[in-house]
Structure 1
Amino acid sequence: MKEGTFKKNSLQLNYVEGPNNGSPILLLHGATKRWQSYEPIIDELISHFHLFLMDFRGHGKSQKVHGKYTLEHYVEDTKYFIKNHIKKPTILVGHSLGGMVSIMLAALHPELVKALIIIDAPLTLHSLRGLISNLKAHANQLIQGLKLSQLFPDINPFIPEHIRACDPDMLAAMVHRFEDTFKNYNIETLMEKIQCPTLLIYGNAQRGSLINYNDIEQILEIKPDLVHVQISQAGHSPIRQDKESTLKAIKEFIKSEQL
């Protein structure tokens, strides 16, 4: 795979691309993560697809943009990458924040999305708001730690590398500007607009999944053709917590939809 940057106006975003072995597939990571969060499944996908991964703004090696971390900003970056780099309808795989971005992109720009695979993205702002609220004290400490570590790189070696790469203002946007950051994530409105085949993979709420059975029932009323698979041994991170079951669900969906 090759790693590079693409420019969206003055913004530089990091991406990784594999060989052209089939239809394009773009993997979008969760908040505070980077493209490497998909490493457990890359080898299984790269031989069958033209694989792309990117670091969202404020994450990984992508540029930090103070004050510009709404869901719409991530969607616009992803739209730009598909239109100007991939240049054809793409299978989107999104975990958590990446899933939210994928849902919004598929709803607003259906011509760019061939199929949608959502991995434990919140289906209500209520569940996400609860998670953020519970983590607020820890997040505030992390924000301060990140600010210090960027001024003095050796001050706190215990902060994981993928988190040290984050813009502290990106975290602040999620914690302190939550309503503005996610204000247009209306799952009912968005799901009604999604036209492409869609798979939802989710974990066990008792193990930390952001999705529960009531969420599934409600979303099926809006999109009855949604394919949904629970990975019962996983929580919020099925890719890492039960890779084999997650890959099985992805492969079966891809085969059934002839992607």
Structure 2
Amino acid sequence: MRRHFRQDTVKLSNGLAVHYHEWAGQGPNLIFLHPSLGYGRMFEFMADAMGDRFHVHAPDQRGHGRTDKAAGDYSAQEYTEDLAIFMQKLGIDRAILVGHSLGGRVAQVFAARYPQRVSALALIAGPHLSNFYGTRESAQSVLEGACSTISHPDEFKSKEEAYAFMRPRKPFTHDPDAALHHRIEHNYVHIGDGRLIPRYDKIRVAQGLAHLSYNLRPYAARVECPVLIMRASLGAALSREQADEIARFWRNAQVVDVEGHYALQFENPAGTAKAITRFLSDTGVI
């Protein structure tokens, strides 16, 4: 059963108009932060699975969805300041942050810069190795990914063409069909003649992807809240040994395996929600 949600757009003091989705709940504030090429509503299955125990917000971050594609460097630091102003605008003093990929980088930097405003931090599919071990090989992979994103089509002739483009490509490879159709429905502008135009700005997304090589170790050392690393157990990006090693960069982090390859919010929303809720309960956050 789908939980009721509302959506709105707010103008921040930095001039950015941010679109967001909100699921009202009884408990603490929880903010979902989407990955590159994502959008806030992609977390609606997670919001359903978590029930009304949390008051949930899921913004479209800059360059994505219905939020402005403003000028800027699209670093995690810039996204972090957007989030700080967004929370202030909505009167959210403190929140649990759940981030995936880009959203995870933003959450990590935010928790370091504003420790008093974060109750807990949960990283879907774990952090990126390239943000902790800046090897030459990882830098090449990051730059290739950014270049690939720039080559995304500016429009598709039909839903079928959009589906055919996404199905074999990362990060969509392991998305269930329902997830791809969700992306097509909510992450594209549908023109009357059947054409689809992406809601994300591929150039701005590529700018953000280039920051996958930025060293986040100093930020991890400043995080005071408990941290959950949810390793996608079927994925190849992060082994258990690597996840355990990265967890040591935080003062209070734990690793759990969640079945899935990458986009756990689509592949396994119930299992991901259960892992987050158990972690928050075990650490005394709820």
By the TM > 0.5 criterion, same fold? yes
Deviation, structure 1 residue 88: 1.6
Residue 124 (structure 1) aligns with: 130
Measured against aligned partners, the alpha-carbon deviations of 1:212-233 in whole angstroms (never above 9, x if no partner) come to 33432332333353121022x4
Higher helix share: 1
* Gap runs ≥5 in structure 1: none
Measured against aligned partners, the alpha-carbon deviations of 1:21-42 in whole angstroms (never above 9, x if no partner) come to 1111111110000012212211
AA aligned to 1:38 is: F
Tell me if 1:228 matches 2:219: no
Measured against aligned partners, the alpha-carbon deviations of 1:57-89 in whole angstroms (never above 9, x if no partner) come to 111110111444222221111111122313321
How far apart, CA to CA, are the structure 1 residues paired with 2:251 and 2:118? 19
How far apart, CA to CA, are the structure 2 residues paired with 1:257 and 1:229? 14
Deviation, structure 1 residue 169: 2.0
Tell me if 1:207 matches 2:241: no
Residue 171 (structure 1) aligns with: 205
Distance 1:87 1:174, change over 3 A: closer
Contact 1:25 1:92 in 2 (8 A): yes
- Report the TM-score, using the length of structure 1 for normalisation: 0.83
Residue 18 (structure 2) aligns with: 13
Residue 223 (structure 2) aligns with: 194
Measured against aligned partners, the alpha-carbon deviations of 1:129-159 in whole angstroms (never above 9, x if no partner) come to 45434545642320xx22xx3xxxx656533
Residue 4 (structure 1) aligns with: 8
Tell me if 1:34 matches 2:30: no
Greater displacement, 90-99 / 35-44: 35-44
AA aligned to 2:150 is: N
Aligned positions of 1:1-259 closer than 5 A: 1-9=5-13, 10-120=15-125, 121-125=127-131, 126=134, 129=139, 131-135=141-145, 138-142=148-152, 145-146=153-154, 149=155, 155=157, 157=159, 158-159=161-162, 160=184, 162=187, 164-174=198-208, 178=210, 181=211, 185-204=214-233, 207-208=235-236, 210-223=237-250, 225-231=252-258, 233-258=259-284, 259=286
Greater displacement, 117-126 / 29-38: 117-126
**Number of residue pairs matched by the alignment:** 243
How far apart, CA to CA, are the structure 1 residues paired with 2:96 and 2:146? 34
AA aligned to 2:219 is: L
* Gap runs ≥5 in structure 2: 163-183, 189-197
SS in 1 for 2:24: strand
Contact 2:244 2:255 in 1 (8 A): no
Distance 1:224 1:98, change over 3 A: same
Deviation, structure 1 residue 198: 1.2
